[in-house]
Amino acid sequence: MTAEPADTPLVFEFIGRTVSSRRVEIRSRVEGFVEERVYTEGSKVTEGDTLFLMDPKPFEARLKAVKAGLAQQQARLSNASANLERIEKLAKQKAVAQKDLDDALGVYRSALAAVEAASAEVVGAELDLGYTDIQSPVTGISSFAVKQEGSYVSSSDSLLTYVAQIRPMWVEFSVSENQIYRLEAEERAGRVVSPRGGDYTVEIVMVDGTVFPEVGKLTFADAALSEKTGTFLLRAEIANAEEQLRPGQFVNVRLRGAIRPNAILLPQRAVQQGAQGSFVWLVDESGSSHFQPVEVGPWFGDRWFIDKGLEGGETVVVDGVQKVRAGIELTTTPVVDNNSEAAE
């Protein structure tokens, strides 16, 4: 075959795991008893759907009480306001002492503050009553119920369930420090060109080997190396429009977008190993064979990248290498599966 340089797309493969793009814990904001579980466990829920109902009676009673307290404070404020108005008229006529005016003003301001405090208690009681209707803040897949009807929910034990948003879906995977180092070294040597801005296309392969129909993109790379695993965490985002992906699935992640410029690829069987390293047999213009040391790069399917030793255009022996010796004349025929040449 003829060694022909060509820009070759690269694919980096990793093992990943699907993760909900927004996993929300559903907790009760008030203490009390669960009156009803409204949703079906494991079903899809929509933002705003009621999931649980707490017993509202204690909160309704408290709301009535604080509303009554507000009405009482408003009555006090009304009396204080009327009294202040009378005192102010008398003060203008110098019919009362300044102290009486100051006392009336103080009582009015105290009553006004009491009304504001009572109003705040009403707002708080209304919020607590509203919190007895526990709704989903996102659209997603619901989990099992941690608490069932009749269970008491306290501030320290408020978890009821969680909802996992699956549109979009995240896929998290890890890249080792060695892999990052090798890629950077290849880039510095000019043997790999990464997409501008790290804009890789993400393809995922399911456990049965099928390729997921949607492609994604990288959205996150951790700033630091994990001390536990020695790897960097990366995250890709998939639209998951048909909601086929669920959290917790293991998938193969393929990153596409990088290329090897002017790369030379040879079948694995064409590259031999000797005492001094890797080598290939070349056929010169006269049809004679000669020995050529090469430096191989990573595999690409069942072929090898040749990093050094070939410039392109050389005729390389692929099959029948066991019969080749330096300086012998060869008769060549094209390699059928590579549309190139092989030695007989």
Of 64, 40, 210, the closest CA to residue 142 belongs to 40
3-state class (DSSP) for residue 323: helix
pTM of the model: 0.76
Say if residues 292 and 335 touch (Cβ distance below 8 Å). no
Domain with CATH 2.40.30.170 in the chain: 6-20+165-261
- Indicate the class that CATH gives domain 56-131: mainly alpha
CA neighbor of 199 nearest in space, from 187, 185, 216: 216
Rounded CA-CA distance 50/53 in Å is: 8
Dihedral angle of Cα 11, 15, 18, 23, to the nearest 10 degrees: -120
Q: Which residues pair with 11 in a beta bridge?
A: 256
Report residue 232: phi and psi, to 5°.
-100, 135
Mean pLDDT of 221-233: 88
Give the pLDDT confidence of 262-299 residue by residue, as tens digits.
Answer: 999 999 999 999 888 999 999 988 889 999 999 998 88
pLDDT at 338 over 80: no
Residues of the chain with CATH 1.10.287.470: 56-131
Confidence class of residue 339 from pLDDT cuts 50, 70 and 90? very low
For residue range 37-50, what is the model confidence (pLDDT) as tens digits? Answer: 999 999 999 999 99
Asked if omega into 213 is within 30° of 0 (cis), the reply is: no
Which pLDDT score is estimated for 342?
38
Residue range(s) in the chain whose domain bears CATH number 2.40.420.20? 265-343
Contacts of 305 (CB under 8 A, 6+ apart): 8, 191, 260, 263, 264, 265, 296, 297, 298, 299
How would residue 94 be classed by pLDDT, with cut points 50, 70 and 90? Answer: confident
Q: At the top level of CATH, which class does the domain 6-20+165-261 belong to?
A: mainly beta
Mean predicted lDDT score pLDDT of the chain: 92
pLDDT digits (tens, 9 = 90+) for 105-140: 999 999 999 999 999 999 999 999 999 999 999 999
Nearest to 262 by CA among 335, 326, 312: 312
Residue 126, CA distances (Å) to 75, 117, 153, 178 in order: 22, 14, 19, 58
pLDDT above 60 for 83: yes
Q: Kindly report the number of other CB atoms within 10 A of residue 289's CB atom.
A: 21
Reduced to 3 states (helix: H, G, I; strand: E, B; else coil), residue 137 is coil
Fold classified for 265-343: 2.40.420
Sign of the dihedral through C-alpha 139, 140, 141, 143? negative
